[in-house]
Amino acid sequence: ARALASLPKMKQYYAQFPEKRNPEDHAELILAHQTFGFRAPEGSPENDEAVRLLLSRHANDPVFLVFDLTPSTSEDVWYMVEAFLTRRGGYQLGAFTYASVKCRWDAAVGDLAVLEVWVHECTTGIPILSMDFGPETAEE
C-alpha cells in the first residue's frame, strides 16, 4: 500500500481527495489467526498478546485480524464480539456458537475493535451462513 502511495499518479489523485486514505482503497493485510482468543490448551495468551502488539504497531495501516469465534474462545473475546453485535441491534445473546470475526486495532481505545462478524451456525439449529453484521458506519 505504501508503494502504491508513492506513485506519481496516486499522489496526484489523492491530492484531490485528502480525506481519503489511499492504502485502504487498494490493499489490506489480513492476519488470519485460527486460535486467537482460545482458552488453553488450544490457544496461547502469549501468541494473542503478540498479535495485539503487532496490530497496535500498525494501527494507522490497513492491517486486520480475522479469527474464528467458537465454544473454545475465551469469555473476554466473546464479550467483545457480543458488545459489537448488541450495538448493531437485532442480536440476542447466545444466538449462535460459531462465527468469523474481522478486527483492527483501535488506538483511541487501546485494544481491538470488531469491524464485521459472519455467523455460521445458530443455536436454533437453522444455519445462517455468512450473515454479515458489519461494518459499522459513522451514522450509527
Q: What is the pLDDT of residue 52?
A: 96
Q: What is the pLDDT of residue 76?
A: 95
Q: What is the pLDDT of residue 80?
A: 94
> Along the chain (140 residues), what's the average pLDDT of each consecutive run of 10 residues?
75 78 73 92 93 94 93 94 85 83 94 90 52 49
> 2-43 pLDDT, tens per residue?
677 778 887 887 788 777 766 667 778 899 998 999 998 999
Which three-class secondary structure string do you get for the chain? CHHHHCCHHHHHHHHCCCCCCHHHHHCCEEEECCCCCECCCCCCHHHHHHHHHHHHHCCCCCEEEEEEECCCECHHHHHHHHHHHHHHCCCCCCCEEEEEEEEEEECCCCEEEEEEEEEEEECCCCCCCCEECCCCCCCC
